[in-house]
Amino acid sequence: MLEIPVIQGRGFRNVVQDGRTTGFQFQLRNPNYRGFAASLLDGIDVIVDGEKIPSHVPLWTLQGRTVDLDQLRESVDLRWQLDELATITVPRPGGLGPGVHRLEIVIHVRRSYFPPAVSRTPFTTERSMVIVPDAPEGGLKFGVSTYSYTGDIYSTMTLDDVLADVADMGATGIEILGEGNIPSYPNPDPTWIEHWRERLDTLGLTPNNYGSWVDTTRWHDRTLTVEEGAAQLQTDLRLAHRLGFDSVRPKFGVVSWNLDPHPIWSDVVERSLELAAELDVVICPEIHAPTPIDHPVTQGYIDFIERTGSDHFKLLIDTGIFNTAPVLEMSEEVEIGDGGEIPPHLRPLAVPISDLVAVLPHVHFIQAKFAEVDDTLTDMHVPWTQIIAALQDAGWNGWLSSEYEGRREPYRGNDQVRRSHALLRTLASRR
């Protein structure tokens, strides 16, 4: 599916030829109500970060052919269809630097059915775009959670669109929500699984973490039994394995504001460890605000690891626990108390980075939770400089999976995830 904005979120990148960065490019949806001959195009004005590019400079790529403005005007069989994208390449030695750029566009189209004095019609649009640098080789791995696209997925974007978006920004890992992203869950059609695997292979994506739920309050009159909970977890372990994932995050029902998991959790997991080992899938409970690292819940998981000696039960850290400022615009609505006082469960924990370092030997996966990265690539809540430094100093080389949980305007998720990756990769490259 094409995005509604004329300037597409995908396709904004620097152009590298023979090892040199020679310019940048972006993609456009046809802004007209019909397709038309490319010879009716009369140029494009490009303003990037306030700098205007002469209209004859950009190159157009339509239907696999790249032409300049004169060739565009003289073309006979070239068209711009409504369902096809145009790629605009702007020659510029050195390209654009990593980060956020403001792109303003005016597309000029001649309309034969308008009087000559007004036949040259301008289509004007603008959008903030992000240049994401390449990830440094070795060390940390960078992925994206489909949760970042909540509100867009299945409305303005398909799952295939999301996967393409993740690959387009140069991420290599994909994290999904089992019940959110798998059609006919828990029994997807084998042809869908085959398509999933082929799609990931084509895009160069690695399935890394599968989100699941053990809903202990599924029924009104009783909670899940251990047997029922184990059956649910094992269903997801098997399905995750079929889809190529090597870790599963089970979200157990909780019994307190500190997110104490329902008491059946340990028996449910213990009954599933043999299967997890057989499938080579790691079960990763989540350390999520308002539960800090130095807490009985976390210690209970660590005690379980040490008691069982299993390599298939480890921790998943959600970086929302490191927030230094409150996030009040949550995607899942939780009411603020009377008088505007921030309730305890929404107050920033500001967990010390030293606490993270202490448990890193038990950490399998990190959800790089964030809510706002601004135009200067500054996260408004999470201290990424310290986190990245601590991970690199400790030699931790697992996945950082960007998980956007902020405002849900259309396409805001894919823009924010790009900002997250630009920030994280820039920090990782500095050391």
Q: 45: which strand partners?
A: 106
Which residue is associated with the tokens 């085959």?
A: 194
**Geometric angle at alpha carbon 181, from 177 and 183, rounded to 5°:** 135
Query: Do 124 and 57 meet the contact criterion of CB atoms below 8 Å apart?
Result: no
State yes or no: is 288 an active-site residue.
Answer: yes
Query: What are the tokens at 213?
Result: 């739920």
Query: What are the tokens at 101?
Result: 């750029």
The C-alpha atoms of residue 371 and residue 420 are separated, in whole angstroms, by 10
Query: Do 103 and 26 meet the contact criterion of CB atoms below 8 Å apart?
Result: yes
- Largest Cα separation within the chain, whole Å, is 82
The C-alpha atoms of residue 68 and residue 25 are separated, in whole angstroms, by 14
> Could you count the other beta carbons within 10 Å of the beta carbon of residue 300?
15
DSSP 55: T
C-alpha distances out from residue 360 to 60, 100, 160, 183, 396, Å: 49, 32, 33, 35, 7
Q: How far is CA 161 from the centre of its chain?
A: 12
The C-alpha atoms of residue 68 and residue 16 are separated, in whole angstroms, by 19
Residues 6+ apart with CB under 8 A from 296: 260
Specify the DSSP element, H or E, that contains 60: strand 59-62
C-alpha distances out from residue 313 to 141, 212, 228, 246, 398, Å: 20, 15, 20, 12, 15
Q: 7: which strand partners?
A: 28
The C-alpha atoms of residue 110 and residue 276 are separated, in whole angstroms, by 63
Q: 3-state DSSP call for residue 411?
A: coil
Catalytic residue among 288, 312, 364, 421: 288
Cis peptide before 383 (omega within 30 of 0): no
Residues serving a catalytic function are 288
